[in-house]
A and B are shown apart, each in its own frame.
Chain A
């Protein structure tokens, strides 16, 4: 089992460009999450999908959109990247809800210039 996989691992964008971060899990989990990690800020939730077909905003959703493509895949899209979106992005999944252990991917390091 690969667990949670994320692509790409690194990305550099210019301000205004768009991109999609991909996430997939092979554990048959119902819930999936996108976080961003910034120095001194811990992890902050961007969006989550409690189950296939649903998505909800987290703490810092502005400038992002998500798609729960199917039970395995949950993508994060930046429509018009800004320098403030320079961060490390982590995808996670859990069986159902956050009371269960969340399994994290290796992260995507994004730099917006």
Chain B
């Protein structure tokens, strides 16, 4: 079945450091790929998405490129801020349901 694997956390970075959170997927068909973010005590919010191979999703300085050849959708940000501390979820969909990875906790320290 469809599944998502993302790097385990927690990830701790200093402010202004470069961020990469790895995400790979297994799917039949042609999934859409998403990154959701969950701030403490809140529900999930869509951060970015890509619907076909080679698409790049971007939002708030975060980027991820849909790589069909490596079945990956890694999240990157050039310079993280303390306010980026949250849990990040990679997800895929081929229809009516989202399959989520287990989440990666990010802590950014001043």
- Mask: chain B, 81-110; 1 = CB below 8 Å from A; 0 = not: 000000001000101111011110000000
Is B22 part of the contact surface with A, judged by Cβ < 8 Å? no
Question: Per a CB cutoff under 8 Å, which of A42, A99, A104 touches B102?
Answer: A42
Residues of A within 8 A of B89 (CB): 42-43
- List the B side residues contacting A31 at CB < 8 Å: 96
Within 8 A of A (CB), among B41-63: 41-46, 49, 51
B38 to chain A, nearest CB (A): 8
CB distance from B31 to the nearest CB of A (A): 9
Contact status A42-B100, CB under 8 Å? yes
Contact of A4 among B41, B43, B46, B102 (CB under 8 A): B43
Residues in A neighbouring B46, C-beta threshold 8 A: 101-102
A78 within 8 A of B: no
A15 and B46 alpha carbons, distance in the complex (Å): 35
Please name the 7 residue pairs, one residue from A and one from B, whose CB atoms are nearest each other, closest first. A104-B43, A98-B93, A42-B102, A42-B100, A43-B100, A104-B44, A101-B46
Interface bin, chain B: 10 to 19
Instruction: Please measure, in the bound complex, the distance between the C-alpha atom of A102 and the C-alpha atom of B51, giving whole angstroms.
Output: 15
**Among A48, A104, A105, contact of B97 (Cβ-Cβ < 8 Å):** A48
By a CB distance below 8 angstroms, the chain A residues around B44 are 43, 90, 92, 102, 104
A42 and B43 contact, Cβ closer than 8 Å, known pairs A48-B97, A98-B96 = no
A92 surroundings in chain B (CB, below 8 A): 43-44
A99, B93: Cβ atoms under 8 Å? yes
Contacts of B41 in A (CB 8 A): 106
> Which residues of chain A from 1 to 57 have a CB within 8 Å of any chain B CB?
4, 31, 33, 40-45, 48, 50, 56
A91 — nearest CB in chain B belongs to which residue?
A: B43
In the bound complex, what is the Cα–Cα distance between A50 and B41 (angstroms)? 27
Asked if B42 contacts A106 (CB within 8 A), the reply is yes
List 8 A–B pairs whose Cβ atoms lie within 8 Å, in order of A's numbering: A33-B98, A41-B102, A42-B100, A43-B44, A45-B97, A56-B96, A99-B95, A106-B42
Is residue A97 within 8 Å, beta carbon to beta carbon, of the partner chain? Answer: yes
